[in-house]
Amino acid sequence: MNRSFSYEQRVGIDAIAVHVPRLYVDLVGEWATKRAAELGEPSVEALIGKVQKGVGVVEMAIPDAHEDSATLAAMAAVKVVLQAGIDPREIGTIAVGTETTVDQSKSIAAYVLGMLERRFGIDLRESGAPQFQFACIGATYALESTVNMFRARENTKPYGLVIATDVSRYPLLSPGEYTQGAGAVAMLISENPRLCTLDPRVAGTITRDERDFFRPNGMSTAVVDGKYSIDVYLDCMAEATKLFLQRSALEAKRNGADVRGERLDQRVDHLLFHAPFPRMAEYAALRIIGEAWRSNVEQFPFLQPLLEQAKLSGDTQAMQRAFEKSLAASKPFQEFFAARVTPSLTLAKRIGNIYSGSMYLGLASLLESSPDRSRLAGSRVGFFSYGSGASARVFSGVLVAPEKAYKPHILAELCAETAGGSRVALSLADYEHLHRGPLALEGAPASLSQPLPSIRAAAGEFALTRVGAESSRARVDLGYRYYDWIPA
Ligand code: HMG
């Protein structure tokens, strides 16, 4: 390896792979029929309309009893290693971002490291394996840390592994219920990456101490103030975007060679948002593209009447809402959104919120749904990351050779098992049974109980096989989670 130091070296994502549970809930079927009355909706059709059009999801992935954030992460990691065709012994660090860790103390990355060692028969003991927690933005901080390690030439091996993994769970019968999901995204980080070089010195980060969404210790479902969480997301994203644009402009001046304009839609070609549900990406695009166009209204004369109309709405917030509503209905915005954002949402519609992996699922979705990946080469991607609590980070990268670096795999897996894919629809009873989880031993937390029997037995995958129950002088493993590779 060349060890000379340069801020200009190209570092980024060499390969990306996704793993989601095979079980899913169809939000149009039995679920909608029962929930419409339970949620007080006027009709089943009204609930389906709200979930499909208003929120933008049609299916959500649900982990089986033997799956959790650790197994999903390890499965995504195995996939990225096999798809990239690298020797897994060349991985020198494993960083995991998660909101739904499996232990209060041990890093989930250490579990993943052990699973990779067993699966590939290798020794990864010389790797670092930290866990990053900050709601849905944890994996972005894991990525930043790993990329900077490579930029500073502190890496000891050619690849770093960054994994975003989560199981999103809200109480049944709450408005959050239809924004659940589960899955993991694994990315290999390297110098001279084949997939996406990340731009140095342009990231804009904002952090505010907020209560929009959280999960108190001991609770398995999130607490969220839904509408407020949307407002905090939008405010933080707008602020982080402003910083990103300022830093990008400075960089462009410094480099001299970048002839792009300074408006957001000139700086980036594709916009990947943290998408807890697909409509959220539309709200975010309306806010930041709305601001970009509005500040250059002479270039967008169609906005003038929309702005005049919005001014009649009252206070600043009402004005903003009215302006964004009319912008959403305009042809220029709809064309912009369809070309620059929609391709990144195809998978989220069918998987749901995977928390820390959501924005990276957007990258996979863009790659997966493009009919000719070679046409994406050289285009600049804007990453709009968000985690409740709350932090937003906006950064960018340039796609290198996506036709070579990415092997489509997710859309095929999302086909029904009977049609050659791997998906299995859950009955409402099985979904609710899995949601409730194992029954707690008397007076003990549910995490100490054995896993429930699986809906579909594990095969060709990592599985949680048992939870330790010993607490004697000879051995202590009470509550420890044991994972094994189960052959197909
Ligand atoms: P809700 O009460 O279910 O929905 O809450 P609503 O009544 O606000 O309606 C939603 C949209 O559906 C509206 O569209 C309705 O008009 C429309 P809009 O007016 O905004 O354009 N609608 C319909 N459309 C067509 N046909 C119909 C129909 N009926 C209504 N029949 C909410 C929705 C997202 C708030 C809820 O599901 C929730 O609380 N989800 C969880 C929280 C969340 O995802 N927040 C997002 C921001 S925070 C974040 O992203 C971080 C997070 O990922 C966690 C982390 O960081 O770790 C959550």
Q: To 5 degrees, how large is the angle CA 274–CA 211–CA 391?
A: 40
pLDDT confidence of residue 258: 66
Handedness of CA 299, 302, 305, 310 (dihedral sign): negative
For the ranges 18-32, 287-301, 302-316, which has the lowest average pLDDT? 302-316
User: Tens of pLDDT along 254-270?
Assistant: 887 666 788 999 999 99
Q: How remote is the CA of residue 353 from the centroid of ligand 1, in Å?
A: 12
pLDDT confidence of residue 388: 98
Percentage of residues of the chain with pLDDT beyond 90: 91
Handedness of CA 454, 457, 460, 466 (dihedral sign): positive
Mean pLDDT of the chain: 95
For the ranges 116-120, 317-321, 349-353, which has the lowest average pLDDT? 317-321
In terms of residues, how long is the chain? 488
pLDDT confidence of residue 412: 96
Could you write out the DSSP letters of every residue in 226-256?
Answer: HHHHHHHHHHHHHHHHHHHHHHHHHHHHHHS
Q: Name all residues whose Cβ lies below 6 A of ligand 1.
A: 46, 49-50, 53-55, 99, 135-136, 175-176, 179, 212-213, 224, 226-227, 229-230, 233, 274, 276-277, 280, 353, 355, 386-388
Q: To 5 degrees, how large is the angle CA 229–CA 199–CA 351?
A: 40
Residue nearest to ligand 1 atom 20, measured at CA: 54
Residue nearest to ligand 1 atom 43, measured at CA: 226
The residue-averaged pLDDT of 84-102 equals: 98
Check whether 408 has a pLDDT greater than 50. yes
User: Tens of pLDDT along 143-169?
Assistant: 999 999 999 999 999 999 999 999 999
The atom of ligand 1 lying closest to the CA of 46 is 31
Q: Which residue has the tokens 């609930």?
A: 47
Which of 27, 140, 179, 353, when mutated, tests ligand 1's pocket best, judged by the most ligand atoms within 8 Å of its CB? 179
pLDDT confidence of residue 441: 67
Strands 91-97 and 424-425: unpaired
Class of domain 11-419: alpha beta
The atom of ligand 1 lying closest to the CA of 388 is 56
The domain limits of the chain are 11-419
Q: How remote is the CA of residue 278 from the centroid of ligand 1, in Å?
A: 10
pLDDT confidence of residue 396: 97
Distance CA 45, CA 40 (A): 13
Q: Which pLDDT band, with edges at 50, 70 and 90, does 102 fall under?
A: very high
Residue nearest to ligand 1 atom 44, measured at CA: 276
Residue nearest to ligand 1 atom 39, measured at CA: 226
Distance CA 71, CA 6 (A): 37
For the ranges 183-187, 296-300, 304-308, 439-443, which has the lowest average pLDDT? 439-443
Q: Which residue has the tokens 């084949």?
A: 194
Q: How remote is the CA of residue 55 from the centroid of ligand 1, in Å?
A: 5
Write the CA distances from 241 to 128, 267, 322, 375, 396, integer angstroms. 32, 11, 22, 26, 11
Check whether 4 has a pLDDT greater than 50. no
pTM of the model: 0.97
